[in-house]
Amino acid sequence: MLLDCGQSLPLLRHTDVPSRVKENFILTGYRFPNYSLRDCLLSAFRPTNETGNFWTHFLPVFIFSYYFVEVFGWEGAPHGDAPFFYPLWNYFIGVFCLLMASSMAHLLNSMSLVVREVCFFVDYGTISSYTVGSSLAYYYYIHPRAGIVETGGNNGSQMDLKQEPTGSFMSSYAIPDFCVFFENFYIPSACLVAIICVLSCCNTRQRWRRHRYLIRTLVFLLPFLISSTPVFYRLLTRSPYSATSSSFVASTSTANFFYRHCLWLLVSAVFNISKFPERLAPGRFDIWGHSHQWFHCCTFLSILDELHMIKTEVKAILLSPTLLLPPATLSHLPGPTIASTYGVMLLLQTTIISIIVWFSWHANCIDGPQSDQLAKEHPKKHVKCH
């Protein structure tokens, strides 16, 4: 048993904690699952094997917020509460909840075995909510017919589209089958896949535990593929902007940000599945430098590049109040509304919360008796070193 000086609870070895708490190749730095809320909060400033997991997603909240608010100061940008920014705010909510839920899950999971399960159920739920928040931003800013923007002083969410004759450019840009998918099935598909992901990941905490990391990683590959279809569309077709326009110049970096976004996601998946580097030296990376901390860092870098990609497309739209998409041949995308953005997220969150409640009740039935027994057998004892 490892003793920590001061009025802190002792940290433990992997042999001293329940099997549900153990992590592969992590041998020391464990907190016993009977901490109070105060003990958990104070443990953020102790070298436990969860300390790095907390800070690598808590500090990024402030970094992300710093880069996010920049867009509201751009020239020509509407007011922050304008309908044009509804999708962007939903994206922010998704990322904010993901980072906060992840950091809090790692900080508070030692309160009990049941609380530990609930913490990570919430974590999985916010990841799914984030993917839908991303999809809403992609739909309104990177969608091939995006550009419904308020550039004046009114509060409308639509813009006039420049009338252009149908020509080879338009026929090469517009792909009718994809347009049908985007307009009718893209957001519903993103929501459905998000729900499937929550169900699958929550199940890995109660079954399929042997391959849980592989399953969770692969499960979240599906929402990435679905939500990224507007970007794939843009990369495989010609830009909707005139090659001589400032919007075209602004949007040229979209591809680079997306490739970097994909690279960081790939690297994070490798860390999450391989358990490198602690697999090579069990016990050496227990506190700092283990795979889950690198996983957190890489996922945040992928989110940061995604934010830059979305901001690039927002800037391109603001620089071009009219798009080269003639409404005579292509019906324009409806502008964002409260129902189509916040309403979608609210409905999704309600569904996800219902799933979390159900799994939490099931976890309480399974782990509740064991948690109560552990609390009786291992009362909290503050150890003071002399």
Quick check: pTM over 0.85?
yes
pLDDT given at position 323: 47
- H/E element holding 108? helix 86-108
296 is in an annotated binding site: yes
Residue 184 binned pLDDT confidence (cut-offs 50, 70, 90): confident
Of 147-161, 180-194, 213-227, 287-301, the poorest mean pLDDT is in 147-161
Check pLDDT > 60 for residue 161.
no
As a whole number, mean pLDDT of residues 120-145 equals 92
Of the two residues 250 and 375, the one the predictor is more confident about is: 250
Check pLDDT > 50 for residue 33.
yes
Q: Residue written as tokens 């030692």?
A: 110
Check pLDDT > 60 for residue 151.
no
CA distance 290 to 275: 8
Check pLDDT > 90 for residue 45.
yes
pLDDT given at position 30: 97
CA distance 12 to 48: 9
Residue 87 near residue 161, CB atoms below 8 Å:
no
Residue 207 binned pLDDT confidence (cut-offs 50, 70, 90): confident
261 is in an annotated binding site: no
Of the two residues 217 and 209, the one the predictor is more confident about is: 217
CA distance 34 to 332: 57
Across 256-273, b (16+ Cβ under 10 Å) vs e yields ebbebbbebbebbbebbb
Peptide bond into 379 cis (omega under 30): no
pLDDT given at position 377: 64
Q: Which two tokens stand for residue 233?
A: 């569309």
Let me know the angle formed at the C-alpha of 132 by 131 and 135, rounded to the nearest 5 degrees: 90
pLDDT given at position 270: 94
Check pLDDT > 50 for residue 315.
yes
3-state secondary structure of 218: helix
pLDDT given at position 154: 38
pLDDT given at position 65: 98
pLDDT given at position 183: 80
pLDDT given at position 319: 84
Kindly list the domain boundaries of the chain, sorted by start residue.
37-74+82-147+175-238+248-317+344-373
Q: Could you name the CATH architecture of 37-74+82-147+175-238+248-317+344-373? A: Up-down Bundle (1.20)
Check pLDDT > 90 for residue 332.
no
pLDDT given at position 322: 57
pLDDT above 70 as % of the chain: 81
Residue 27 near residue 283, CB atoms below 8 Å:
yes
**pLDDT tens-digit readout, 234-246:** 888 877 777 888 8
pLDDT given at position 368: 74
The alpha carbon of 349 is separated from its chain's Cα centroid by a whole number of angstroms, namely 14
Residue 378 binned pLDDT confidence (cut-offs 50, 70, 90): low
Residue 315 near residue 74, CB atoms below 8 Å:
yes
Which pairs count as long-range contacts for 311-314, CB under 8 Å and 24+ apart, including other chains?
311/67, 311/70, 311/71, 312/250, 312/251, 312/253, 312/254, 312/257, 313/141, 313/142, 313/146, 313/251, 313/254, 314/71, 314/88, 314/141
143 is in an annotated binding site: no
Residue 51 binned pLDDT confidence (cut-offs 50, 70, 90): very high
Of 7-11, 84-88, 248-252, the poorest mean pLDDT is in 7-11
Of the two residues 297 and 210, the one the predictor is more confident about is: 297
Of 70-84, 89-103, 154-168, 199-213, the poorest mean pLDDT is in 154-168
